[in-house]
Amino acid sequence: MTDRIRVLIADDHPVFRDGLRALVESAPDLDLAGEATTGIEAVDLAASGNPAVILMDLSMPELSGIEATRRIIESDPRVGILIVTMSEDDESLFAAMRAGARGYIPKDAERGQILSAIRAAALGETVFGASIARRVADFFAAPRSPAAEPFPGLTERENEILELIAQGRSNGEIATTLAIAPKTVRNHVANVFNKLQVADRSQAIVRAREAGLGREGSPRS
């Protein structure tokens, strides 16, 4: 089958790694792309194993999961990296998202939740476990001091598009809202990503929402 999802497991704990392997091998639409026990191995196997999704532990020997994520995404932004860890502190969460992770789920998540997260990440979706999603929502809902212009390097149109991205709008919806061509939207989105130095939409959303965009009452909503 051509639509099977190749999954790389990167975790230095043998028992947990064995459990993830069994989970992947039990799913009819998943293939095991390899297993890494260090951050360096994860980067190497990501380059050679052609995974669509990587299950990445944060606390890896030789190279942290966050730095491994950053290097992998720099090489191939299409890879969906899911951080799977017992650490749920806000600092680790947002560091992982800035590095390019597409999701963050706790190690005690149910089997079905992990499988759903893998499939969603393969489709390019951003995934959070329920408890983490609540904390993300609380973080973005917290009041912040207003800034005159959070991204002065962006043009007025690029700021408008970033606001709509932060609201979760697709390129097609942005084109309709601003009455511009979809190709023009794609060009503006690419410029926004370059100027913010982010790899994908999920990272742009994190940056924008941290600056106060995308919420009810934000400067451009």
pLDDT per residue as tens digits for the range 78-132: 899 999 877 656 667 777 788 888 888 888 888 998 999 999 999 988 887 666 6
Residues 102 and 188 in one domain: no
pLDDT per residue as tens digits for the range 187-198: 999 989 988 888
Q: What is the CATH number of the domain that holds 169?
A: 1.10.10.10
Residues 6+ apart with CB under 8 A from 169: 177
Q: Are 129 and 105 in contact (CB under 8 A)?
A: yes
Residues 161 and 61 in one domain: no
In a domain, 150, yes or no: no
Structural domains of the chain, count: 2
* pLDDT at position 218 over 50: no
* pLDDT at position 217 over 80: no
Question: How would you class 160 by CB atoms within 10 Å of its CB: exposed for 0-12, middle for 13-18, buried for 19 or more?
Answer: middle
- The answer to pTM > 0.75 is no
Nearest Cα to Cα of residue 42 among 2, 21, 70 = 70
Instruction: State residue 69's pLDDT score.
Output: 92
Q: How confident is the model at residue 219 (pLDDT cuts 50, 70, 90)?
A: very low
* pLDDT at position 40 over 80: yes
In a domain, 91, yes or no: yes
pLDDT per residue as tens digits for the range 145-182: 554 567 888 888 888 899 999 888 899 999 988 888 89
Q: What is the CATH number of the domain that holds 26?
A: 3.40.50.2300
Q: Tell me which residue range forms the domain holding 172.
A: 156-210
Residues 71 and 99 in one domain: yes
Residues 133 and 162 in one domain: no
